[in-house]
Chain A
């Protein structure tokens, strides 16, 4: 079955991190730019990757991620700390994305160049890791491209839930809190999204056969 627990840190470490983070956030509220710098450093990778999977392309992801941090900076005073900062920032990311979507009448387009850029990036990573053979690299690249395309075709909320669960490793409870949805709704939408993805990916048996 799914090995999610291995990704989760131990409770104690988690509590230390959270305390540390509360101190940083207090410093941000007091107007220390260096504290916000630290906060961005801690979350930029997560925020960017979340935005990348939700928007489906590199450029929009950078814009959404930056905008999310700017909104966080504007409203850090209103962050009360009863939720985790991660939950709060993910909520901002999804709100920024949904606002942008509402704003742009035109539908999202994923240009081929952007998709390639994205893949090159992950390809270099994989080569640096040293493990896969060139054939596997090509195949992984193709798979990732097909997978992202399939994710892009999901409705907004399903795509966001898939991203938060599978790439950001958020629990059902946390996703419900981020999106302000009942847990049951989160679960059923995730199931529907997974079924839809499986359906789409079945049409490419050479990659996923």
Chain B
């Protein structure tokens, strides 16, 4: 028997788990081969050591931490009501006051009619269709910031809208939009209910002041920009305050849309994020353990065909992978 074959059988030999004939051949080999005999001794010592690895207690507070997380999950995910547990008999025998139902129907009808002709309808319609150009006031607020070179250049296209996020003034962001393109590039920027229309071209940028959100929340600016026939939508997530990079916190992401994840990461890590692409995609279960924003982005976004890149201190860009 060759040495290699004998060594393949060490475990079975040590555990007495081979038939007598084979076992005798291994023994015979060990008696003759000094090298294998030494190797087998070492092997036995190793087994003994592995078997004597001590058990340790989990860290203090481990149990409580697991149960606290379980409680949190329970609180945030209501137990589904199972259809077979519903008292169906009761459902079909509920007594409904007929007059009240009729009165409610009339009220709803009147309200719907009134709504058709009220200014509220226009406001609601505008809110849902911000992509339609409207005649909302255009605010050029260039006087807030002196023109300076944009700090970074997206590498993809000359027509690209350049976005500069300035957070020097506490409590507000200055978004400066610009382009390297010589023909005008129209944009609509919407933050909450406030809308800005404008256009930029090479050498003529536009600056918009956006109040920083209260601590712990994130404001999302949506920019629709047009170049000829081409429309593009970008989102900018702005936390209450930009933190220096490297600060890390835990997050468990499950069934989140990219949009929600970016809000979360912007808030938790205090970074601004400029995003484009389909943000409604659901990210599969992802956990970011004390990960830096780079890592969290990289991992969760790669699962939905997108990628993130740090473009400046505390500013990230997210876009679909080409």
Contacts and interface: CB of A to CB of B under 8 A. Distances in A.
Contacts of A100: 287, 289
5 contacts: A103-B287, A122-B56, A195-B10, A198-B42, A208-B42
Contact of A62 (B46, B54, B59): B59
Contacts of A190: 11
Interface of B: 7-8, 10-12, 14-16, 39, 42-43, 45-47, 49-51, 53-59, 62-63, 65-67, 69-71, 73-74, 79, 252, 286-287, 289, 295, 298-299
A44 B62 contact: yes
Contacts of B12: 187, 191
Task: Give the interface size bracket for A toward B.
Answer: 35 or more
Interface of A: 1-2, 31, 33, 36-37, 40-41, 44-45, 48-49, 52-53, 58, 62-63, 65-67, 69-70, 73-74, 100, 103-105, 118, 121-122, 125-126, 143-144, 147, 162, 166-167, 187-188, 190-191, 194-195, 197-199, 201-202, 208
Contacts of A122: 54, 56
Nearest to B300: A103
B219 to A, nearest CB: 30
A58 B59 contact: yes
Contacts of A202: 42
B58 A65 contact: yes
A122 B47 CA distance: 19
Nearest to A118: B56
A121 to B, nearest CB: 5
Given A33-B70, A36-B70, A44-B62, A143 B49 contact: yes
B297 to A, nearest CB: 12
Nearest to B39: A198
A191 B14 CA distance: 11
A53 B12 CA distance: 24
A191 B8 contact: yes
A169 to B, nearest CB: 9
A73 to B, nearest CB: 5
A100 to B, nearest CB: 8
B56 A52 contact: yes
B46 A201 contact: yes
B55 A187 contact: no
Contacts of B65: 66
A35 to B, nearest CB: 11
Contacts of B55: 45, 49, 167
B69 A37 contact: no
B62 A62 contact: yes
B11 A194 contact: yes
Cβ-closest 8 pairs across A and B:
A166-B50, A48-B58, A191-B11, A198-B42, A198-B46, A122-B54, A69-B66, A198-B43
B56 A121 contact: yes
Contacts of A167: 50, 53, 55
A118 B56 CA distance: 8
Given A40-B63, A44-B62, A144-B54, A198 B45 contact: yes
Greatest chain A CB density within 10 A among B15, B49, B71 is at B49
A64 to B, nearest CB: 10
B5 to A, nearest CB: 12
Contacts of B252: 70
Contacts of A63: 289
A1 B12 CA distance: 11
Given A33-B70, A33-B71, A2 B14 contact: yes
Contacts of A162: 50
A208 B71 contact: no
Contacts of A37: 67
A126 B10 contact: no
A194 B56 contact: no
A63 B101 CA distance: 55
Nearest to A147: B49
Given A1-B16, A2-B47, A33-B74, 12 more contacts: A36-B70, A53-B53, A62-B62, A74-B73, A122-B54, A147-B50, A166-B50, A191-B8, A191-B11, A194-B10, A194-B47, A201-B46
B176 to A, nearest CB: 34
Contacts of B58: 44-45, 48, 62, 65
